[in-house]
Structure 1
Amino acid sequence: MDRIARLREKMMVKGIDYVLLGPNSDCFYLTSFREEQMERPLLFVVSLDDHFFLAPKLYDEQITQLGYRVEAYGDGEDPFSKLTLERGRSVYLDDWLPTFISLSIVERYGPSKVGRASELLSPMRAVKDEDEIALMETAVRVSEKVLEEVLPTIKEGLSEKHVSRLIENKARELGSQGPSFEPIVTSGPNTSMPHMRSTDRKLKNGDPIVLDYGIRWKGYNTDTTRTVFLSRPSAEVERIYNVVKEAQSIAEERVRSGMSGAEADSLARTVISRAGLGQFFIHRTGHGIGIDVHEPPYISKDNEEPLVDGNVFTVEPGVYLPGKLGVRIEDMVILRGRAQVMNSLSKEILVL
Structure 2
Amino acid sequence: MDYNRRIQKVKKMMEGKADYLIVGPSSNMLYLTGFVEEPMERPILLVLGDRDFMLAPRMYMEQLSDLPIELQTYNDGEDPYSYLNLRKGASLVVDDSLWSAFLIEIVNRFLPSNLLRGSVLMKKLRAIKDREEIEIMMEGLGIAEASFHDLINMIKEGETECEVGRKLEMIFAEHGVVPSFSTISTSGPNTSMPHLRCTDRRIRKGDIIIVDFGVKYRGYSTDTTRVLSLGSPSKEVMEIWSIVDEAVNLAEKVQFGLSGREIDNIPRKLIEEKGYGKYFIHRTGHGIGIDVHEDPYISSDNLEVVERGSTFTIEPGIYIPGRFGIRLEDMVIMNEKINRMNSLSRELYVI
TM-score range, shorter chain: over 0.9
Residues 98-155 of structure 1: CA distance to partner in whole angstroms, max 9, x if unpaired? Answer: 1111111111101111111111111000000111111111111111001011111112
Alignment match, 2:7: 4
Question: What CA RMSD, in Å, does the superposition of the two structures yield over aligned residues?
Answer: 1.1
Alignment match, 1:296: 295
Displacement after TM superposition at 1:348 (Å) = 2.0
Q: Which runs of 5+ in 1 are unaligned?
A: none
Cα distance in structure 1, aligned partners of 2:7 and 2:333: 24
Identity across aligned pairs (percent)?
A: 47
Alignment match, 1:349: 348
Q: Secondary structure at the match of 1:63?
A: coil
TM-score normalised by L of structure 2:
0.97
Cα distance in structure 2, aligned partners of 1:288 and 1:104: 33
Mapping of residues 57-136 of structure 1, within 5 Å: 57-136=58-137
Displacement after TM superposition at 1:349 (Å) = 2.2
Cα distance in structure 2, aligned partners of 1:46 and 1:172: 37
Q: Secondary structure at the match of 1:20?
A: strand
User: Which amino acid is 2:232 matched to?
Assistant: R
Given that 2:183 and 2:212 are in contact with CA atoms closer than 8 Å, whether structure 1 keeps it comes out as yes
Of 32, 39, 47, which residue of structure 1 is paired with 2:34? Answer: 32
Cα distance in structure 2, aligned partners of 1:192 and 1:283: 12
Displacement after TM superposition at 1:67 (Å) = 4.3
Displacement after TM superposition at 1:198 (Å) = 1.0
1:153 aligns with 2:160: no
User: Which amino acid is 1:71 matched to?
Assistant: Q
Q: Which runs of 5+ in 2 are unaligned?
A: none
User: Which amino acid is 1:342 matched to?
Assistant: M
Cα distance in structure 1, aligned partners of 2:41 and 2:273: 52
Residues 189-246 of structure 1: CA distance to partner in whole angstroms, max 9, x if unpaired? Answer: 1101111121111110010100001000000000000011002111111111111111
Q: Secondary structure at the match of 2:10?
A: helix
Displacement after TM superposition at 1:56 (Å) = 1.6
1:245 aligns with 2:245: yes
Q: Secondary structure at the match of 2:350?
A: coil
Aligned length: 348
Alignment match, 1:324: 323
Q: Secondary structure at the match of 2:138?
A: helix
TM-score normalised by L of structure 1:
0.97
User: Which amino acid is 2:272 matched to?
Assistant: S
Alignment match, 1:222: 222
Q: Secondary structure at the match of 2:115?
A: strand
